Structure 1
Amino acid sequence: MKNFYKRSMLIIMFLLAMALLVMLAMGQAKAATPSTPTLLYQQEISGTVTTLGGEPLLGVTVRVATKNYGTTTNLEGNYSIRANPGDMLVFSFIGFKTQEIRVSNQSMLNISLEEDVDALEEVTINAGYYNTTRRESTGNISRVTAEEIENQPVVSPIQALQGRMAGVEVTPGGNLPGQAATIRIRGRNSLRDEGNFPLYIIDGVPINSTPIESFSNLGNVGIDPLNTLNLSNIESIEVLKDADATAIYGSRGANGVVLITTKKGRQGKTEIQARIYKGISTVPNRLELLKTEDYLQIRRRALENDGVEADEANAYDLVVWDQNRYTDWQEEFFGGSSQVTDINLNASGGNENTTYSLSGSYHKQGTIFLGDFDYNKVAAGLQLNHTSNNKKLNFNLSVNYGVDSNNLVGYLDLSSFAFYLPPNAPSLFNDDQSINWNDWAEVGLDNPLAGFYNSSKTQSNNLISNLVITYQLLKGLEFKTNFGYTYFNSNEIVKRPRRSYNPATWDRIQHRSNHLITDRKSWITEPQLIYSSKIGKGTIDGLVGVTIQESTQNGLSLYGEGYVSESLIGSLSAAENIDSQTNQQSEYKYAALFARLGFNWDKKYYINLTGRRDGSSRFGPGNRFANFGAVGGAWIFSEETFIRDHVSFLSFGKLRGSYGTTGSDQIANYGFLDAYEPTLGAGGLYPTLLANPDYSWEVNKKIEAAVELGFIEDRINIGLSWYRNRSSNQLVGYPLPEITGFTNVQANLPATVQNTGWEIELSTFNFQSPKFSWQTSLNLSFPKNELVRYPNLEQSSYANIYRVGHPLNIALLYNYEGLDPETGFYSVEDVNGDGNLNFEDRTIIRNSGREFFGGLNNNLNYKNFSLQFLWEIVKQNGRLALFNAGELRNQRTDVIRALDENSGYQQISASSQAIIAYDNVLNSTFSRTDASFIRLKTISLAYSLPNTFLNSLGLNSGKLFLNGQNLFTITPYEGIDPEAPNLGTSFPSLKTISFGIQLNF
C-alpha cells in the first residue's frame, strides 16, 4: 500500500508540473505582448445576462472582439470586463443566439439572449472518426453527459449507463468494487460469451474490453479494464448502435461502440474545480428467513413425518446446538456498511492558441462484508490543445493514467452461507475473536469462515495516451493523424496462510500463494485525409484513412507453497515449491483501410456512405481480409414547404434508415495454427491446439428504420427506431470426439443469431419559467433475441443449451405437475416415460432475458435548487429457491405455510427423496416467478451557493449536493434483488447515499 500511494503522488506531481510549465509558457507569451489587458482596457463594464424571460444565465462567454481577452458570467448571470469605447463585446452561449454590442461610454450593460432552437439541435455528437449533430445524424447514437455520470458513486463508467440509453443493457457483475459489469448493445450476437464485447474507445484510442482474469473474489466476472478512469473527468459517453454508426469501425464494431471523451481545456483564465464527496453503501434488502422457533418447529415436524429419531448425526441442530440461540446470519456476513470517499481536482484554462485541462482524483471504497477490505484508486489526466497562429496546424495530446489497488479476501464467498445456515448455529468466533473451530468440529463441520484469513491484493496500472496532429493542406482539405499507446498491467497475489483453516488439518496444509501477472500493450496509428466543400445548396464531406494496430498480451500464473512462516508468503524465493501454471504470450496485428462520404442537400436530404477493409492476424492467410460497409440516409421532412406551411404544431420531423455489415474477429490468437506447450520437467512438447486454417470472419448484417419528431417548438420530442441484426458464420469451438485428443477446434458453424427490437425515446419540456423548469426523458427498449438457424443442433454439444426459434438466454425446464398424491413431494413430468429425469424431459422453454427495459429521468430546477432522479424499468422473469421445508438448512419464512397440508408446498421432510424432489422442482416451472422491477436508480439534489457568499470567499461558483443510488425498488420478486433473479440470493447492487461539495475558483 505504501508503494501504491507513493506512485500515485508521483503521478499527480508530474502532471501538475507539466500544467505549471504550460501556464508559465503562456504567461511569458502573454507578457511579450506589446500591451497588457490592464493597460489596454481602460473602462470597466459590468452587467447581467439573462434569458428573454429574465432568468440569469451561468457560463455565458463575454469577450472583446478581435482581442485575446474575455470572461464568463457567474451563477446570477453577472459579469465584469474592461474595454475601450468602440470595442465590440460578443456574448455567446450554447443554445442561444450570439449578440454583438458596441461599447460606448456606459459602465453598466445588461442584455437578454434569445433562445436559438436550431442551436439547441447543434450539440456536437462524437461519431468516432467525425463529429455530427443530432439533427444531421443518419445513424443511431445515444449520449450521456458529464453531469449524469459524475452524480453516480460508481467505479466504472459503464455502470453509469444503466437505464439511460435505449438499446443498451448494463447489468452489474457483483457488489464488490472493481467487478466488471456486462454491457450488451442491442442484444447478444455471438454464441460465445467472449464474442459479445463492444469496442471501447477512449479519446480516439481503442482498448481491450475483455475483463481481466483474477484469482480473487472478482474472478467470477473478472476486473473491469475501465476501473482506473476518473469519472469526474469524463465529458461524455456516446454509444454507436446501428450499421451507419458502427460500420466505419468494421470488424471491431459488430457489438456496438462505446466512445468515452474526457474533458478539455477552455479558453479563459485558469479555473480550478474541487469536488469532494463521502458516502455509505449498504445491502438494500434482506430475505425474510425463518427464526429459531419456527425453524426448529419445522425441523421436528420433518423428522416426525420421516419416522426418524433425532440424533447427533441427522439433527445436530436439534440435539447438539443451543435451542434458544438466534443469529441473523445476513447481518453477520454482509450487514456492514461500505464507506465511500471521492476527491477530484481539475484545473483548466488557456488562451486563443493553447488550452489545457489537468485532473487528479482519489477514490476509496470499502465492502459490506465481514472483514476489513477496501478498494483504492488514484487517477490523473491531461488534455493539451495547441493551434498555430494561422489556424492551420493543431496538436491535441490526451493522457489518462490510473492506479488502483483492490484488497479482498481470497477464495471465500462471504454471502452464500448467510442464507443457508440454521439460525441456531454456533458463533463464528470465540470470545477472543479467533475463529471458532471446536463447536463446528463437534458435529463434523468446518467453520464457514475457513479461508477467512486468506487475502488478495490486485494492483493495476493503466495508461491511455493519444496525440492527434491536424494540418490544413488546402481550403477544405485537412491531413490528420493520431498516435495512440495503451499499457495495462495487473499484478495479483493471493496469500493463503495455514491459520485460515482448521488446526486439525494443519499437518496436511502448508502456507500457499497464487500469483497472476497480466500485461496488455497496444499501439495504433491512423493517418487520414478529411475533405469538406459546399456545392450549391449542398455540402459534401468525407475522409479516407488507414489503421495500423498491434497488441501484445502476456499472462503468467504461478503457485508457491511450503513457506517457512506466514510473513514470507508471497516471496517466491522463500517457497519450497514453485509451479508455473500458465505462461501465455500472444500478439495481435490489425490493419484496415476505411473511408466515409457524406452529402447533404439544402440541410434536408442526407446520405452517408462508409466502408472498411479489415485485416486480422487471427485468421489464416487465405481468410485474413474482409470488407464491411454501410449506407445511411435521412430526410428532414419538416423543412419541406408543404409541411412547414400546413402543419404548424410539428417543429421537427426526420425519417432515417441504414443498412450495412460489420464483422467480428473476437477469438483467441493463433487458432488457425497447431500449438504446443513444453512438458513440465521433461524437456518435451505436447500439442494443445489443433489447426484449422479455413475459418473466417463472423458477419453481422444490420438494418434500421427510424422516425424523429418534435412538437410545439421542440418542447416534445419523440424518436422511434426499429432494427434487425443478423449474425451468421458463427465462430465457435467445434466439439471433437475424445479419440482425437482434443476437445474442440476453432471453426465456423452455419448458425444465425438474430436481434430485432423497437426503441422509444421521449423528451419533454414540461415547464419553463425564470425561476422553475422541469424536463422529462423516457427511453424504452423491446428487444427480441432468436437463434434463427443451427443445422444439426441436436447432435452438437449445445443441444442442452439452445433451441432454434428461441433466444440464446433460455431456461429449459421440467413441467411441474403438482404434488405427488402418494408421497406428498413435488412432481415433474417424465415426458418420455423412461423413469429418468434429464434434459430430454425439459420441454418447457422460458426466456431468461429481459422482455423490455428502460429508464424515466426527470430534471427539475427551482432558483438555486436542482433535483434529478432516474427510475430504471425492467420486465423479466426470475427464479426462487429456499422453499424446501424440513431440510437441515434455513428457508424463507413463506415455508411456514407448509404446516398446512393445502399450502402448495411439499410435505415437510428431510429425506433424500424430498431433497431430490426439491432439486428437480428448482428446474421446473414451479420455481419461476415475475422478477420485474421499477427502481429509483439515482437521485441527486443540489444547492447552488448564493453569489454574495461566493464573492466573499473569492469563489466563482459552488454547490452542495446529496446523491442516492438504488434507494427504492418496487417489485413482486421475493428474492433479495431482482437485478440478479437467479436463485434469489444474489445482490449485485448496493444502496448508496453520499454528500459532497463542489467549488470553482
Structure 2
Amino acid sequence: MNYLTYFTRGYTVLVVLFLVSAAAYGTAVSHLPILQQTITGKVVGATDSLPLTGVTVAVKATSRGTTTDDNGNFSIEASKGETIIFTYLGYQDQEIEVGDEQVLSIALQPDDAQALEEVVVVGYGTLRRKEVTSAVATVRAEDFNAGGARSPMDLIQGKVAGLNITRTQGNNPNSSAAIQLRGVTSLTGSRTPLIVIDGIPGGSLDLLQQDDIESFDVLKDGSAAAIYGTRGNAGVILITTKKGREGEARFDYSTYVQREVVDRKPDFLKASDFRELISQGLISADQDFGASTDLYEELVNRQNVSQYHNFAASGGSANTNYRASVFFNDANGIAKQSAREQWGGRININQRGLQDRLSMQVNLAANFTKSNLLGGGFNNSDDPNARVNSTGSDFEQAVQRNPTAPIYNEDGSFLETQAYNNYNPISRLANRIAERNQQVFSGDAKLTLDIIEGLSASVFGSYVRTNLNDRFYRSTNDWEQREGTDWQGMAYAAKWNDLSWTQTLESTVDYHTTFNEDHSLTALLGYSYQYGSVERFNVN
C-alpha cells in the first residue's frame, strides 16, 4: 500500500541529576574574624510568603556567598558583627547584621519601581510593565527552572499561574510537553497556546535550546486573539532568544550530565507470588514454566546517561554585533531503545546604520535529530506526531505476563507465551527497528526604519522548513511475522516522509509619543501574511 497526500493551507498555524559546571572565585588575602558560625534561614517574598529560589546571599566585603535552594533555604558562614546581603532580581536588597541569632527569616520586598519600568513583549511590540493593561506574565532566564530540560517548556513549568505543562510520556526523550493555558477553551479547535519564536508564529520548539532563550512572555487574556486572531484563542507564548550585544568578545559554555532512575515500580505478581497462587489451587500447576523473570527490570535501561553541551560566542560594536551558538544533546530514556540525539546551532546578527535610524536583525537556526522510537512500544501510526509517543505496551506486558515464563528457550530463541494479548517485548526489541531522522531549519530577518521621532516602520519575513524520515521494520524472526500468520514468514517494512514549510511576511507602522510627561499615546498599523504547505508520503 502506498499513497501520496499533498495539501496546502494558509495561516498554518525520580531524576538523579549531575550538573557539571565551572566557576572561578577571587581570593582575598585577609584575616577572617574569629568565632565564625553557621547562619541558616529561609528567604520568602514579602507579598505572598512564597520561597524565593536563587537569591544571592553574601557576606559583605568578603568572598563568601551562596544562593537559596528550591525551598528558599540557605546556609552560610559568618561572624558576629558582619553583614549579610540578600539580593534578588525584582526585589529590594536587604542587609542583616549578624548577632546572636543563628536562624534567620528573611522577607524581601518587591522593587516596584524596577518592576514597573521592566520591558514586556506584547505581540508586535514592547511596553513598559506599568503600561500593560492585559494579562501578561514574563519569565526571564535567571528565573528558569534549574537543571536539564527535555523540552524548552520545562524551563517555566510552575512559573506562570494558569499555565499547565505536563509530560504525559514521562521521560520519553522523543515526546513533547502538553501545554494548556486558561483551561479548555475550545471543543473543536486547538487547546494548545500559539508558540511565537522571535516573531515567527508557530515556530518550532526543536530549534530552541535552554541556554539560547532570553525570556518567555505569556499572553493569557483576549488580547492574544486580538493580535493573532483565532490562532491565539488558547493564549500565546512569546519566546525571545538571546541576541548579540555590544562589548568585547565573550564565550559561554554550558553542560550537564544526567541520569534517570525508576522511583517506584507498579505492583505486580512476582514469580514467588504466582507460585503461591498455584499452591492454593487458584492457578493450574502446568502454568509454572520454571523461571523467575522480572520483565519490568529487563525493559529498564539502568545505564542510561544523557548529556548536553552548548557553546556560544558573542560580541561586536554598537553598530554591528552578533551571537552564535552550537549544541549537542544526547538524551536517553529509562526504557531500553528510547533515545534522541540532536545537534545544530543558532546565529544572530544585528546591524545599525543611517545615523542609527535603520536597523537590521537576522536569525538563522538549524537542528538535526536522530531518534530511536522503539522503546516502550512503537506507535505504528500515519500521524507523525503520534509516532514519537510510546504506546507503553511493552511495560504492560511486564505486569500481565506470566512471571515464571523465561525470556529465552533452551536453544537461545525467544519464548512466546500464548495467553491473550501476550507477547515477549524483549523479542520485539531484538527483531524490530523504529527510527526517525529529522532536519529543521529556520531563517528570519527584520528591517526597522525610524522615519521621524516617534514614528517607525518595519518589515519582517521568515521561513521555517521541517523534513522528517521515519522507518519501521520487523524481521523474519519477529513472532508477528511467523509462519501461519497473514505475513507467512516474511518481513515487514514501512516508511514515511513528511515535508512541511511555512513562510511569514509582516509589516507594521508604529507611532509613540509622550505629552505632559505623564501621558503617552501609542498607535500600531500592521499587515500579516502566513502561508504553509505539508507533503506526506507513506509506503509499506
TM above 0.5, one fold?
yes
Aligned residue identity for 2:526:
G
Shift in Å, 1:195: 2.3
Quick one: which of 130, 148, 152 aligns to 2:147? Answer: 152
1:62-461 to 2 correspondences below 5 Å: 118-149=113-144, 151-174=146-169, 175-192=171-188, 195-207=190-202, 225-298=204-277, 301=280, 303=282, 315=284, 318-322=285-289, 325-334=291-300, 336-370=302-336, 372-388=337-353, 390-409=355-374, 410=378, 413-424=393-404, 426-430=405-409, 434-437=412-415, 440=417, 446-452=423-429, 453-461=431-439
Residues 358 and 380, structure 1, Cα contact 8 Å, conserved in 2:
yes
Residues 139 and 245, structure 1, Cα contact 8 Å, conserved in 2:
no
- Cα distance in structure 2, aligned partners of 1:171 and 1:116: 32
Q: Deviations over 1:543-584 (max 9, x none)?
A: 11001111111111111xxxxxxxxxxxxxxxxxxxxxxxxx
Superposed CA RMSD in Å reads 3.2
- Give SS of 1:399's match: strand
Q: Deviations over 1:345-379 (max 9, x none)?
A: 00011111111100110000122223x44210012
CA gap 1:508/1:116 in 2 versus in 1, 3 angstroms: closer
The gaps in structure 2 that reach 5 residues or longer are 1-57, 66-87, 93-109, 380-390
- Cα distance in structure 1, aligned partners of 2:147 and 2:327: 15
Shift in Å, 1:435: 4.1
1:14-29 to 2 correspondences below 5 Å: none
Shift in Å, 1:488: 1.1
**TM-score after normalising by structure 1:** 0.40
Shift in Å, 1:389: 5.4
CA gap 1:299/1:171 in 2 versus in 1, 3 angstroms: farther
Number of residue-to-residue matches in the alignment? 425
- Cα distance in structure 2, aligned partners of 1:275 and 1:441: 51
Aligned residue identity for 2:208:
L
- Cα distance in structure 2, aligned partners of 1:392 and 1:548: 26
Residues 397 and 423, structure 2, Cα contact 8 Å, conserved in 1:
no
- Give SS of 2:161's match: coil
Residues 365 and 376, structure 1, Cα contact 8 Å, conserved in 2:
yes
Q: Deviations over 1:673-730 (max 9, x none)?
A: xxxxxxxxxxxxxxxxxxxxxxxxxxxxxxxxxxxxxxxxxxxxxxxxxxxxxxxxxx
- Cα distance in structure 2, aligned partners of 1:356 and 1:184: 35
Residues 397 and 422, structure 2, Cα contact 8 Å, conserved in 1:
no
- Cα distance in structure 2, aligned partners of 1:181 and 1:200: 13
- Cα distance in structure 2, aligned partners of 1:378 and 1:171: 25
CA gap 1:264/1:489 in 2 versus in 1, 3 angstroms: same
CA gap 1:368/1:53 in 2 versus in 1, 3 angstroms: closer
- Cα distance in structure 2, aligned partners of 1:353 and 1:201: 27
- Cα distance in structure 2, aligned partners of 1:155 and 1:287: 24
CA gap 1:281/1:228 in 2 versus in 1, 3 angstroms: farther
Shift in Å, 1:230: 1.8
- Cα distance in structure 1, aligned partners of 2:164 and 2:223: 20
- Cα distance in structure 1, aligned partners of 2:91 and 2:529: 42
Quick one: which of 488, 506, 510 aligns to 2:466? Answer: 488
1:451-850 to 2 correspondences below 5 Å: 451-452=428-429, 453-501=431-479, 503-505=482-484, 508-536=488-516, 537-559=518-540
- Give SS of 1:398's match: strand
- Cα distance in structure 2, aligned partners of 1:261 and 1:430: 57
- Cα distance in structure 2, aligned partners of 1:407 and 1:335: 14
* 2:102 corresponding residue in structure 1: none
Shift in Å, 1:254: 0.4
Q: Deviations over 1:872-924 (max 9, x none)?
A: xxxxxxxxxxxxxxxxxxxxxxxxxxxxxxxxxxxxxxxxxxxxxxxxxxxxx
Residues 228 and 404, structure 1, Cα contact 8 Å, conserved in 2:
no
The gaps in structure 1 that reach 5 residues or longer are 1-50, 59-92, 98-114, 209-224, 304-309, 560-1001
Residues 414 and 427, structure 2, Cα contact 8 Å, conserved in 1:
no
CA gap 1:334/1:254 in 2 versus in 1, 3 angstroms: same
**TM-score after normalising by structure 2:** 0.72
- Cα distance in structure 2, aligned partners of 1:523 and 1:436: 51
- Cα distance in structure 1, aligned partners of 2:414 and 2:59: 73
Which structure has more RCO (C-alpha within 8 Å, separation ≥ 6)? Answer: 2
- Give SS of 2:395's match: coil
- Give SS of 2:208's match: coil
- Give SS of 1:189's match: coil
Residues 308 and 328, structure 2, Cα contact 8 Å, conserved in 1:
yes
Residues 94 and 119, structure 1, Cα contact 8 Å, conserved in 2:
no
Aligned residue identity for 2:528:
T
CA gap 1:57/1:280 in 2 versus in 1, 3 angstroms: closer
- Cα distance in structure 2, aligned partners of 1:140 and 1:337: 45
Residues 449 and 456, structure 2, Cα contact 8 Å, conserved in 1:
yes
Residues 205 and 464, structure 1, Cα contact 8 Å, conserved in 2:
no
Residues 207 and 486, structure 1, Cα contact 8 Å, conserved in 2:
no
- Cα distance in structure 2, aligned partners of 1:398 and 1:445: 51
Shift in Å, 1:485: 1.1
**Identity level (%):** 24
Q: Deviations over 1:631-651 (max 9, x none)?
A: xxxxxxxxxxxxxxxxxxxxx
Shift in Å, 1:519: 1.3
Shift in Å, 1:491: 1.2
Residues 140 and 245, structure 1, Cα contact 8 Å, conserved in 2:
no
CA gap 1:550/1:282 in 2 versus in 1, 3 angstroms: same
Aligned residue identity for 1:180:
S
- Cα distance in structure 1, aligned partners of 2:359 and 2:304: 46
* 2:17 corresponding residue in structure 1: none
- Cα distance in structure 1, aligned partners of 2:455 and 2:341: 47
Residues 148 and 256, structure 2, Cα contact 8 Å, conserved in 1:
no
1:6-85 to 2 correspondences below 5 Å: none
- Cα distance in structure 2, aligned partners of 1:285 and 1:436: 28
CA gap 1:423/1:277 in 2 versus in 1, 3 angstroms: same
Shift in Å, 1:415: 1.4
Shift in Å, 1:440: 3.5
